[in-house]
Chain A
Amino acid sequence: MSSWFENVVTVCLIVNCLSVLLLVYRVVWGPSSADRAVAIDTIGINLIAITALVSIRLNTIDLHDVILLIGILTFIATVAIAKFLDRGVLIDRDRN
């Protein structure tokens, strides 16, 4: 791996981490819960990017499972939060 590629990866990594940090601002000080939910979903997306970059840097394929999983799980978590914010419960008892 050439050194400029490695530098690019490192810079991307740091930029992604900084964006996580900025998203933390939105999560903590976000005026509404919906803001927070969107922010944490975005943090999940950033996690995918960071994990991919790390696996490039480590030159490994072992982390690919993690990438897929984050994609699924952030979706589930976001849906769950969204449903909670919308209705107040996750599982409706009466389905008709």
Chain B
Amino acid sequence: MFLYYIALPFIAAFLLFLFSRSLSKTFHTGWLVAIVPFVLFILFLTNSSEISEGQPVASLTNWIPSMGIQLSFYLDGLSLLFTLLITGIGFLVVLYSVFYLSKKENLIHFYIYLLLFMGSMLGLVMSDNLFVLYTFWEFTSISSFLLIGFWSHRARSVYGALKSMMITVFGGLCMLGGFLLLWVATDTTSIREIISQKEELMASPLFMPILLLVLLGAFSKSAQFPFHTWLPDAMEAPTPVSAYLHSATMVKAGIYLVARLSLLFSGSDLFFLCVSGFGLVTLCWGSFMAVRQTDLKGILAFSTISQLGMIMSMLGFGSEAAIFAAVFHIFNHATFKGSLFMVAGIVDHETGTRDIRKLGGLMTFMPITATLAFFGTFSMAGFPLPIFNGFLSKEMFFDASLQTASPSGLARQTAPLFPYLAVLGSIFTFVYSMYLFFGTFRGKVQLHQLEKKPHEAPFGMLIPPFLLVCFIVVIGVLPNLINERLLAPAAGAIAGNSIHIHVAFWHGIKPPLIMSLIVVTAGALLFVFKRYWEIIYRYLPGKLSADKAYQAFLNRLLRAAKKITGSYMTGSLSLYLAIIVLFLVCVTAGMMAVTGGFAFSTADLSPVKWPEVITGVSMLIAAVATIFMKRRIAAVIVIGVVGYGLSLLFVLFRAPDLALTQLIIETVTVVLFLLCFSHLPVMKPNSKPLRSRVADVLISLAAGTLITLVAISSHSSKWFQPISDYFVKTSYSLGGGKNIVNVILVDFRGLDTMFEITVLGLAALGIYGMIKIRLRKKGGMEQ
């Protein structure tokens, strides 16, 4: 059943592709596309009552049964929350994009990418199978790459798309490694079955690498420190994409993964330290850096980073309250961040700039947009009023940071630090939220700086953010509205047992409230006096930014790769030959030494006679002398002695056929050498430096020694009876010939001969071709 749900966006994308030409230009394609998420949203909503009663729905289709990989989809509370977010915000974003993107854009491409992304995101959050999950994970990376680079004529878009691709695919591959280890350790690919084997897995030595690799994947996807650097660059995407992918859905894939596997990992100190530690660092760094941005979307990008860090850290805390708060904040963040991105898009659309230094005082021009932004920013800041859902989850966050799950060892010692970090990050969150709102909508109007005269956005563009803001307010006023139906099942799915927490605005004067008040006071003070302390940004990020680290890493990598390749790919054949021979010698000698392959035995030797010795000595002298010849003709004549000596040896060892052939080949070779000499330049003395000449000598000596040793060893170890007796016996009776060599060549092993003939034929054709083609070319040039 779920297979069809997930297939729906893919099918819709395919249909869009098929009918792209016949779609009329009179109405916006987005209207058609909006049907898909809407239908899916309704479908998932109908499932919600079963799930809130604690009955997960599963569906299973075989894919690669031989490897135990099934398209197994599973809808529990956590998946339901995500599917509703994906389809619900997907619907709003498509609606928004209808008004945002003009019909001149390449809309078919845009919506195909968007539908692909939606389908893969749905698949990701519903997969129960590790490898299916990974497949959809990479699908989201690819479709996100396509969406970020949608305006591919802009260099910044291409850069951002490439960067996000590199970082998320790097994380995805790490995660695949972790999944493979999980598979090896548990022998199953189903996530539910893996979680049921938690005890054995915790004891396994593979636990730590699995944990680290999977977290690496989750951190890079969810833009955690230090992998957050791709998210600000991904803001080059069209604003609907930023609102959808980079605030509500894709960047929460890593959060989803950690939440999904937290049943497996929770209780381990490493998990606690990594997830909450990195989460809090991301929270602080992201919010600190957000204050520095001047681009509206830049602020929102860093704000997303910091909010994701906050959710991540709550997942790391691991207590029931923390998990509930995390789920609550996932929902709240999607609502207010989605609406804020849309507001930023509206401002950009109606004024022509997103630079906050040029904006200001837009409240009088765009009162509705300003109101929407007011709710979004104050909810993001966690302003203590019961109409902002962000405040509720932020307070639960403070509460959770005070009561972390009882860890041991190092984790216990660092846990008391967490509330301070949480407050610090939240103070900056407050500052940039205020900065975002007041910088855009209050203050002086700078009409001359704007490209267009600002005016209120079209009605249709305001509806999607308006609906999201409705959620902010409704959840803020009535937080328990979605509690039983949506949040409790999701938190229950993460924690493994049902969690029922009553969300209330007023708890009495307790530490979380005091922390909130500190945040508001300190944040307000910092915001008011922002221009006095802004100088700190010159020193604190200074040269230390993840973007620069990424750049430096890439540059170093490219430079190192060039250097390494350049160091041995010099184009010098003699160097390549030296490397090949050296490698051969090292591997063969090493292998023989390791396996004890060298053998020496004199049992099988035949007596040596004088003629053979003298012939051998003659050949040796000639072979060595060839190296020192100054002219080519002399070298050829001297090497001819070796050839004649070889044929003499064949005669002495009673091989008349070989001797015949050897003589002919020797003579033909000499003639061929003489033929081509007239085309060669004058032979120059070896101009290599002494050191490399010595190296050449050593390498050649080593190769010669090795071959000699191998020959001796192979002669000394006779393991089987030679087959030659058979040929001697049957050459006449079977082959009908007395010349055993020839019978073997054309009868017993005729196939070899056939291909040797082929080789000769090809060589002849090749030579003919080379000569002819060269001549024809020459003729062509003359014409």
Contact = CB atoms under 8 A, between A and B. Distances in A.
A18 B614 contact: yes
Contacts of A37: 637
B640 A40 contact: yes
B102 to A, nearest CB: 74
B208 interface: no
Interface stretch (B27-35, B416-424, B578-586, B672-680): B672-680
Contacts of B660: 65-66, 69
A51 B649 CA distance: 10
6 contacts: A20-B618, A27-B638, A40-B644, A43-B644, A66-B651, A77-B667
B92 to A, nearest CB: 85
Contacts of B645: 20
Contact of B644 (A18, A36, A47, A69): A47
Interface string B625-660: 100000101100110110011011001101010011
A94 interface: no
A81 B611 contact: no
Contacts of B659: 51, 63, 66
B671 A80 contact: yes
A50 B651 contact: yes
B654 A73 contact: no
9 nearest A-B pairs in the assembled complex, by CB-CB distance: A17-B614, A28-B625, A36-B637, A73-B667, A84-B674, A24-B618, A89-B678, A17-B611, A62-B656
Q: Which of A33, A58, A91 has the most CB of B within 10 A?
A: A33
B155 interface: no
Nearest to A68: B660
Given A33-B637, A76-B671, A77-B667, 12 more contacts: A17-B615, A20-B615, A33-B631, A33-B633, A36-B637, A40-B640, A43-B641, A47-B647, A58-B654, A63-B659, A69-B660, A90-B675
Contacts of A56: none
A24 B675 contact: no
Interface in A32-54: 33, 36-37, 40, 43-44, 47, 50-51, 54
Interface in A3-32: 13-14, 17-18, 20-21, 24, 27-28
Contact of B637 (A21, A40, A70): A40
Chain A interface mostly helix, strand, loop or mixed?
Answer: helix
Given A27-B622, A33-B633, A54-B651, A84 B677 contact: yes
Q: Which of A28, A51, A58, A81 has the most CB of B within 10 A?
A: A28
Interface string B205-225: 000000000000000000000
A33 to B, nearest CB: 5
Contacts of A88: 678
Given A66-B656, A77-B667, A28 B622 contact: yes
A18 B613 CA distance: 10
A73 to B, nearest CB: 4
A37 to B, nearest CB: 6
A63 B633 contact: no
B619 to A, nearest CB: 9
A47 B656 contact: no
Contacts of A74: 667
A9 B625 CA distance: 31
Contacts of B625: 27-28
A65 B664 CA distance: 12
B663 interface: yes
B641 A63 contact: no
Contact of B611 (A44, A50, A73): A50
A69 B664 contact: yes
A44 to B, nearest CB: 7
Contacts of B614: 14, 17-18, 20-21
Contacts of A27: 622, 625, 637-638, 641
A81 to B, nearest CB: 7
A14 B612 CA distance: 9
B699 interface: no
A84 to B, nearest CB: 5
Contacts of A14: 610-611, 614
A25 to B, nearest CB: 8
Contacts of B610: 13-14, 17
A81 B669 CA distance: 12
Interface string B670-713: 11001101100000000000000000000000000000000000
B557 interface: no
Nearest to B633: A33
Contacts of B666: 73, 77
Contacts of A69: 660, 663-664
A90 B674 contact: yes
